[in-house]
Each structure stands twice: as C-alpha cells, then as structure tokens.
C-alpha cells in the first residue's frame, strides 16, 4: 500500500525527472562554402583556356548574366538558360543582343533541342515548346511535374539518347547520404511516347554533363565527387562510362 508520504515524495521528484529528460547538449558545426571569385571577362582570360590542337576559342556573345546551359538549334540559334534570372535567352550569330524567349521559371537549368522542339528542366518539371522560325518559342507544355526535390543539387540537365529517349540528371539531395528515392542521385530515362520514366543509372552524386559515343552508342558522363574531404581522402571523380541500371 502506497503511503501518503511516499506519494508526496514521488510527486515532488517528478518535475526533476522531466527536467532531466529535456536537457540536452547543443552541438554547433562550423562549415564554409568556398566560392570562386568573380573575374570580369577579358582577352587575357580567353588566352588562358587550353584546347586540343586544331581547336580555337573566340567570343560569341558577351555580358549574358548567369548563363549556365545552352543548346544550338538547326538554324544556328543558341538558346541559353539563366537560373538567377529565371529565364531563357536566344542569341543569333551577328546579333549581339540576346532575346528573352521564356521567363519566370524558378530553377530553370536543363535544356535540349530535338526535332524542332525545345525541352527545358526546372527542379521538379520538364517542359517542351515548339521552336519558331523567328527564334522565339511557342507555349511551354509541362510533360513532367514530379521530379524529386532538389536538396543540395537541384539543377537538372537534359540530353537525348540515340534512341530518342530524353535523359534527366537528378543529383543527390545532400553531399553524401542514403537517398529516400531511387530517382535521386541518378540518371533517368524518359520515353516521350508514353511518358514512362525509369532509372537508367544510379549512385551518381551529380552527373551534370553526359553524352553518347557516336560509334558505340555508350553513355559517358562526368560525375562530381564528394566535398569537404580534402584532396587526399576524397574519392576520385571524373569521366566515366555508364550502363543501364537493369543490366
């Protein structure tokens, strides 16, 4: 039988137990993101570029803002995505002034052109529009609206495979982690006929650049390596060959 005195002691100790359970230790992790210093373009910068023998680099257009990815149409018009400006511009040879062809698209980045149509990617969506003869584009239609969240790597890139499928790069959600979705840290294959989406390759931290060998038809890509491990401990990153995840 619990006595009155024992009950009072138990009640008196209860707040102490609760307080002890709520106490914790605050850990603060100091991090730093290194960003390259912005250097205005000049001819000396151009001279520092190293290219293979027989190649030459010259200026096509200047003062384009946050120009990021580009694709060239059959008529030579260059289309460029600008994530910070949230738009797409078109540049024609001989006309130094860029013309905006799409605007107000948060996270705009990926771009590809095929059969007279332009494909654009944001964090969650892939859109398509017809290319007009004057360099403008038609009304954008969303064909994908459920790509995984971006996290640390939210900039999607697009490229067409030899079989006509559209491939989408989806980077990892953090620096190095176990993903909650198979579509993260992966290269996705989108069949434009039935809109079926499959994982082509996975375990890729952030393969922004990829293309297919013109003779073998095999995919090659450049995957970005892990951060914050220094030059000696960091796993190697670079150009590699990739095969379908299913075989």
181 token code pair: 């979705």
The reported pLDDT for the residue numbered 247 is 47
Question: Where is the domain boundary, 119, 146, 173?
Answer: 146
The reported pLDDT for the residue numbered 21 is 55
Residues 140 and 107 in one domain: yes
Question: Where is the domain boundary, 146, 179, 212?
Answer: 146
C-alpha 137/C-alpha 75 separation (Å) is 14
C-alpha 229/C-alpha 169 separation (Å) is 24
Residues 92 and 177 in one domain: no
Arithmetic mean of pLDDT over the chain = 84
Number of domains in the chain: 2
* DSSP code of residue 132: P
C-alpha 234/C-alpha 243 separation (Å) is 24
Does 40 reside within a domain?
no
C-alpha 49/C-alpha 140 separation (Å) is 37
SS (H, E, C) 19-33: HHHHCCCCCCCCCCC
The reported pLDDT for the residue numbered 120 is 99
Question: Where is the domain boundary, 116, 131, 146?
Answer: 146
Which residues in the chain show pLDDT less than 50?
1, 7, 9, 11, 247
What CATH number does residue 128 fall under? 2.40.10.500
> Does the model's pTM come out above 0.85?
no
Residues 129 and 153 in one domain: no
- Domain span at residue 229? 148-247
Residues 96 and 127 in one domain: yes
Does 127 reside within a domain?
yes
Closest listed residue to residue 61, CA positions, set 30, 32, 95: 95
Residues 112 and 74 in one domain: yes
């Amino acid at each position: 039988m619990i006595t009155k005195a024992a009950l009072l002691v138990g009640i008196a100790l209860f707040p102490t137990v609760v307080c002890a359970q709520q106490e914790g230790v605050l850990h603060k992790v100091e991090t730093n993101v290194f960003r390259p210093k912005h250097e205005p373009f000049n001819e000396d910068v151009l001279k520092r570029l190293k290219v293979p023998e027989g190649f030459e680099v010259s200026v096509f257009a200047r003062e384009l803002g946050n120009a990021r990815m580009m694709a060239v149409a059959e008529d030579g018009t260059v289309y460029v995505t600008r994530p910070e400006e949230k738009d797409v511009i078109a540049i024609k040879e001989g006309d130094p002034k860029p013309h905006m062809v799409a605007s107000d698209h948060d996270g705009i980045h990926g771009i590809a052109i095929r059969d007279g149509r332009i494909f654009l990617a944001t964090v969650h969506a892939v859109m398509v529009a017809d290319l007009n003869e004057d360099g403008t584009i038609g009304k954008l239609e969303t064909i994908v609206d459920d790509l995984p969240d971006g996290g640390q790597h939210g900039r999607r890139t697009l490229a067409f495979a030899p079989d006509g499928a559209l491939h989408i790069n989806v980077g990892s959600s953090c620096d190095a982690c176990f993903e909650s979705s198979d579509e993260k840290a992966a290269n996705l294959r989108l069949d434009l006929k039935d809109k079926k989406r499959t994982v082509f390759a996975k375990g890729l931290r952030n393969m922004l650049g990829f293309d297919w060998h013109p003779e073998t038809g095999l995919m090659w890509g450049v995957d970005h390596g892990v951060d914050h491990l220094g030059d000696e401990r960091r796993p190697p990153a670079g150009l590699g060959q990739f095969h379908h995840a299913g075989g």
